[in-house]
Amino acid sequence: MFMVFCLGLLLSMTSAYTVRVFTRTTEDANTYFGNQSKVRQIIGPINLISLLGIILWGFINLSWYIPIVLFLIVSFVVGYIFGRDRLFLFYSIQPLIDILSFGILIFLWFN
């Protein structure tokens, strides 16, 4: 379950960081949310629920310091390895990443 937790945290953080980088580096940052399809507008907020739920699961089922340490490590890894240039590639598959992270959230809570 620890590895599933790590994977879910990595996917959720990658998706969240993709949105952050996209909205801060394009001139159309204010129209980011308005130009999305309805499906993408529904799936996008699911990632926030997934991220919070996965972190909450970690606090409940693991030692309190493990989610904090992993959050910091994954934040560094996503920010450093998946730099700005590469995160634009993730924007096209972001709905898939969001669905996978939500599936991992359901798996963690119901397994």
15 vs 9, which has greater pLDDT?
A: 9
What does the pLDDT look like over 26-77, one tens digit per residue?
Answer: 666 555 556 677 777 788 788 888 999 999 999 999 998 999 999 999 988 8
- What pLDDT was estimated at residue 25? 64
Q: How far apart are alpha carbons 74 and 77 in whole angstroms?
A: 5
Q: Look up tokens 């096209």; give the residue.
A: 92
Burial class of 16 by CB neighbour count within 10 A (0 to 12, 13 to 18, 19+): buried
How far, in Å, are 9, 12, 20 from residue 59 at the CA level? Answer: 13, 16, 25
Q: In this predicted model, which residue has the larger pLDDT, 111 or 20? A: 111
Looking at residue 67, its amino acid is P
User: What percent of the chain is modeled with pLDDT above 70?
Assistant: 81
- Break the chain into its structural domains and give their ranges: 2-110
CA distance 84 to 74: 16
- Which stretches does DSSP call E strand in the chain? none
